[in-house]
Amino acid sequence: MDFLNDEDEFNLELPQTTEINRDLFANETSLADGSTEEDFDVDEFLMKNNFNYVELDPLIRDMSGLSNVIMSDLLNQISNNYESYLEFFQTYTSEDNDTILEFQRIKSSIAKFKNDLETLTQKNITESKEVISDTVEYLRRLDDMSAQLRNHKSLADNISLSKDISKTLHAMCGIENPEELLCSELIKQLRDLVNKCESQLSSLEALNSPYIHHFYNEYQGLVQEFQLSLKILTDRCLSEPTAYTTLSKVLISLLNPETSIAV
């Protein structure tokens, strides 16, 4: 058959496998350093070097033999240059090494952070709670004092206004024909102010201060003057019932417990 002698159309040579030696792996290492691939592709390595045509046992034997040779050479190099290797590794164990010093600084910072956190959780928070509690109590007392000051100011204003109205009402009691509507209005206003002063004095009597005692004495004098004016006007209404009908109704309304004057 002539076609068996045609070398251009048929090539029966078997693929050549790459020799397993150091140069083979040195070349692979250099290629891996410049490649973006992270992992060594075993299948690609075997195919590229035609190791897929080699039986597994001889391939394992050749690889193991090369590995043993490399390990033996490495041990010989270390033995012959022990001082150099020792100096090289000493850079990673020296206390003066920058990396170790940086680790030590980080460790110190972490220890300080843990200590500060422990202080915060065990001591500072407790102290903060006490400070907050004291502050809240202080603010509450300030509110109480502010309320008391407002009551003092309001009480002083009410007593002062009550005294002015009481003097006007008492002066009208001496007039022969007092203005009935005006007297009635003054009585209503003075009644409300006197009751308000009594309520404010009751809320402040626990203070037991000279200032409150002074207000109470003024209040007592105010009530006495008011009662005197009411007595004079009541007598006038009784003597002339038809002349002071509106004033009589106002005086009668004072007998109601809800609107009576507190003494």
| Percent of the chain whose predicted confidence (pLDDT) is above 90 | 10
Q: Cα–Cα distance between 66 and 63 in angstroms, integer?
A: 5
Distances in whole angstroms, Cα of residue 200 to Cα of each of 190, 220, 257? 15, 14, 19
Q: Which residue has the higher pLDDT, 247 or 38?
A: 247
pLDDT at 164: 92
Q: Cα–Cα distance between 237 and 73 in angstroms, integer?
A: 137
| Percent of the chain whose predicted confidence (pLDDT) is above 70 | 78
SS3 229: helix
Q: Sorting pLDDT into bands at 50, 70 and 90, what band is 194?
A: very high
Q: Which residues contact 215 (CB under 8 A, 6 or more apart)?
A: 155, 156, 159, 197, 201, 204
Q: Cα–Cα distance between 73 and 66 in angstroms, integer?
A: 11
pLDDT at 161: 92
Q: Sorting pLDDT into bands at 50, 70 and 90, what band is 20?
A: confident
pLDDT at 224: 92
Per-residue pLDDT tens for 217-257? 999 999 999 999 899 989 888 888 888 888 888 888 887 75
pLDDT at 262: 44
Chain centroid to CA 165: 55
Q: Which two tokens stand for residue 156?
A: 């002083």
Q: Cα–Cα distance between 217 and 177 in angstroms, integer?
A: 32
Q: Lowest-pLDDT range, 29-43, 98-112, 136-150?
A: 29-43
Q: Sorting pLDDT into bands at 50, 70 and 90, what band is 94?
A: low
Backbone angles phi and psi of 230, in degrees to 5:
-65, -35
Give the mean pLDDT of the chain: 77
> Which stretch, 117-126, 183-192, 252-261, has highest mean pLDDT?
183-192
Q: Which residues contact 261 (CB under 8 A, 6 or more apart)?
A: 191, 194, 195, 223, 226, 227, 254
Given a cut of 70, whether residue 96 has pLDDT beyond it is no
- Burial readout 112-124 (b: 16 or more C-beta within 10 A, e: otherwise): eeeeeeeeeeeee
Domains within the chain, CATH numbers bracketed: 2-90 (no CATH), 148-253 (1.20.58.1240)
Q: Cα–Cα distance between 91 and 107 in angstroms, integer?
A: 20
